[in-house]
A and B are shown apart, each in its own frame.
Chain A
Amino acid sequence: MKFNIFLISLLIFQLSCNNPQSQQNISPEFEHKGGQEAVQDDESQKDIVKIAVGSANHTTLVAALKAADYVDDISNAGPFTVFAPTNDAFGKLPAGTVENLVKPEQKAALQNILEYHVAVGTYRQDYLTDGQTIGMANGGNITVRLNGDKIIVNDNINVIATIPASNGLIYVVDGVLLPASK
């Protein structure tokens, strides 16, 4: 084994002296590269995260996703249906709620709330039926009601826009979905 270590040492140190660029490439200490959200790709259709990041009405949601370390997850192949509360929707929560939730010690609670906004699967409007329950990523269920063209979630939250994304579907909602406390 020593033999291996010294061969490697030889290689690494030689390169570190002669060619810092290459040294970086073979460095055995891997930098955390970030997940799929870090992939450079301006050609593909935008995924849910990229759409949210580009939306002026969803800065609170994006901040919450970042605080919960969910940016990478929602950049995944999915497919997801994400109920995306607007900044105004977050504004309806009691004062200080959001500020409290993004604190590091509240991460689990924040994750639970955000997961309650995400279903794995593309629940297009034409696949929905009135009164249907949908299992959300946190293990809870939501109920959707259909009223003409309108989708109402958990009785009082309205879908105000539908945005297809490369990895699923965003339903923009005017309220924050609050999971039943367990």
Chain B
Amino acid sequence: MKSIIFKSIFGVGILFMLIATACKPKGMQTAVQGDAAVKAYVPPGQYDEFYNIVSGGFSGQMSVYGIPSGRLFRVIPVFSVDPEKSWGFSEETKPMLNTSHGFVPWDDLHHIALSTTDGIHDGRWAFGNANNTPRIARIDMTTFRTNEILEIPNSGGNHSSPFITENTEYVVAGTRFSIPMDGKVDVPINSYKENFKGTVSFISVDKNNGTMNIAFQILLPGVNFDLARAGKGKSHGWFFFSCYNSEQANTLLEVNASQKDKDFIMAINWKKAEEYVTAGKAVKKTVRYAHNIYDENSHSATSEIKNEVLVLDPKELPGMVYFMPCPKSPHGCDTDPTGEYIVGSGKLAAVIPVFSFTKILAAIDQKNFDSEYDGIPVLKYDAVLHGEVLKPGLGPLHTEFDDNGFAYTSFFVSSEIVKWKISDLTVVDRVPTYYSIGHLCVPGGPTKKPWGKYVIAYNKITKDRYLPTGPELTQSAQLYSIDGDKMKLLLDFPTIGEPHYAEAIPAELIKPKSVKIFKLEENKHPYATLGEKQAKVERKGNDVHVYMSSIRSHFVPDNIEGIKMGDHVYFHVTNLEQDWDVPHGFAVKGANNAELLIMPGETQTLLWEPNRTGVFPMYCTDFCSALHQEMQGYIRVSPASSNVPLTFSTGAKMPQTEQ
């Protein structure tokens, strides 16, 4: 059957080609020259080759696109509340956004790190950073949901994060803002040089379940830590961080942090740091941070406040931290697939320096130091340099790699991607982006095994690229093919929030593991309703717990009476469906929070605090069935002094009295 369709379409195609040739030869030529549309086209019903996990920037979320189509599949709520998915509104998810500052409903998610084993994508987890109130989130790639959020103490803004080591041993968190810490915090801002310090944290990731734990922090001079990459292969055991503001300015950084010709790339020997921790050289510091974990069996999160962290001081523990001079406010800091080359991108620099890991080791070995910076050795630039890419463009930001020895660097000011050869540092191709690219992504680009094929630009400015929508315009991604000698633009697509870093991973590494339903028999939620017969309403003082079930196309109970003014009504709704893609929603009139969106087999809770008497409708918000519109009910609220008994029912002519 398929082959017949194929043949007939083939035939019709030829026919149209002939007609087209006859009527418009010029158009024909244009089309034949260009195969861009074909390359980005995924026919209806067919799958994309890659998942593209994209940071949402100031939206605080992560989004999931298909590549090459650019189709948006899902927005994963991470650091910002999402009333659509009840993230941060349901009782189960509220603890996920708890911090030492209390409940924080928004953040700014900049970077993605996909877990790797032996430096190659393993499709298990995606990590994201909260830039504002410093945190790291871990997303489970079987559910595409946020399962863990860990707050980072001693940090003023978690930008240099969440990059990972080769086997996901650690995810790192470097503070963008240095801050006063360790008790002495109420100090004049202009005592920056004296009192402000930076840290980078190494957060261990449990091999089996992914649980994060702050293994140690390294106390560092008060500069700004910007981006980072782990060493890999030969440089496994090292981590590289870009640092700017070595001027240590605390005001007008636009001018004052652009004074020096060179800032730093910092090289950390984390194996050495581990040795120091094992040898008991780390100091316990009292801090305060939240560690939030979501359990897919209880369908609930818990938030624990922790009070201790281990800190290593490189001034007293030599051989752990080195600085390498890097021109003009380095931003991107990227290691190539072999682990030999580290590319620093000074956003104000006229060259791209490429450092050699072999030379770094040699320089350290020979103590080939230029100077010290706040007690930390600074290696000689020329001693660690593989070479410079000369005049590559204006405003280099980030570099990704393919599997053929080429690097792709984004340039904000000159709005372009520049392809260059790592071995001889020659520029081989450049393409414009529309406009002002920030990050870029080659599938597998940060790993030991780039999947190649495409480079995706994430642009900060779109101006006239799309139909205008008033003053606020979409940000965008642009897809280019890189499988030929020349990069070629294939597709523009708009993005949610502001995309910063993104990763792309072959769909086959994730798709087979995708969860379809939560099993009811594994539902350990304390308020689960595992069958309609278990549905009930219980009063405990002013708290009323509604154990509610939902299945096509009714709630049990759907008539509730006896609620009184001042009550806190908890709707614990269990979706009894065990069928893929049949979520039920739940909303009740006047709710001051959100809806619930409950996956098959899951229990979620909405708190409702009515502010007036009356009868209030409630209904299913997710079009679940042909009788979705019938999936509704009422809840009656009476005065606090009323004698209306607490009753509940579904389908009964008269409400039953409470048992």
Residues of A within 8 A of B (CB): 2-10, 12-14, 16-17, 20, 23, 26-30, 32-33, 35-36, 39-41, 72-73, 76-79, 108, 111, 115, 120-123, 127, 133-135, 137-139, 141
**Are B41 and A8 touching (Cβ within 8 A)?**
yes
A-B contact pairs, 27 of them (CB 8 A): A3-B6, A4-B38, A5-B38, A7-B9, A10-B13, A10-B16, A13-B27, A13-B28, A13-B31, A14-B16, A26-B37, A27-B31, A28-B31, A28-B37, A29-B34, A30-B489, A40-B464, A73-B394, A115-B394, A121-B254, A123-B255, A134-B258, A135-B328, A135-B348, A137-B348, A137-B394, A139-B327
**A115 in complex: contacting residue of B35, B258, B350, CB < 8 Å:** B350
Determine how close the nearest CB of chain B comes to the CB of A153; give it in whole angstroms: 16
Q: How far is the CA of A5 from the CA of B39 in the complex (A)?
A: 9
**Are A13 and B19 touching (Cβ within 8 A)?**
yes
Given known pairs A135-B348, A139-B351, the reply for A73 and B16 (CB within 8 Å) is no
**Are B350 and A10 touching (Cβ within 8 A)?**
no
**Are B414 and A73 touching (Cβ within 8 A)?**
yes
Residues of B within 8 A of A (CB): 6, 9-10, 12-14, 16-17, 19-20, 23-24, 27-28, 30-31, 33-38, 41, 43, 252, 254-255, 258-259, 261, 327-328, 347-351, 391, 394-395, 412-415, 432, 434-436, 460-461, 463-464, 489
Given known pairs A8-B37, A28-B38, A73-B413, the reply for A120 and B347 (CB within 8 Å) is yes
B14: chain A residues within 8 A (beta carbon): 6
**B9 in complex: contacting residue of A10, A36, A127, CB < 8 Å:** A10
Given known pairs A23-B27, A35-B434, A137-B350, the reply for A76 and B414 (CB within 8 Å) is yes
Q: How far is the CA of A111 from the CA of B17 in the complex (A)?
A: 47
Quick one: closest B residue to A72, CB to CB? B415
**Are A29 and B20 touching (Cβ within 8 A)?**
no
**Are A121 and B255 touching (Cβ within 8 A)?**
yes
Q: How far is the CA of A5 from the CA of B349 in the complex (A)?
A: 44
**Are A29 and B16 touching (Cβ within 8 A)?**
no
**B435 in complex: contacting residue of A10, A36, A115, A134, CB < 8 Å:** A36
Determine how close the nearest CB of chain A comes to the CB of B647; give it in whole angstroms: 60
Q: How far is the CA of A39 from the CA of B259 in the complex (A)?
A: 33
**Are A139 and B38 touching (Cβ within 8 A)?**
no
**Are A16 and B434 touching (Cβ within 8 A)?**
no
**A36 in complex: contacting residue of B36, B255, B350, B415, CB < 8 Å:** B415
**Are A77 and B436 touching (Cβ within 8 A)?**
yes
**Are A28 and B28 touching (Cβ within 8 A)?**
no
**Are A28 and B413 touching (Cβ within 8 A)?**
no
**Are A77 and B328 touching (Cβ within 8 A)?**
no
Determine how close the nearest CB of chain A comes to the CB of B46; give it in whole angstroms: 9
Quick one: closest B residue to A123, CB to CB? B255
**Are B27 and A16 touching (Cβ within 8 A)?**
yes
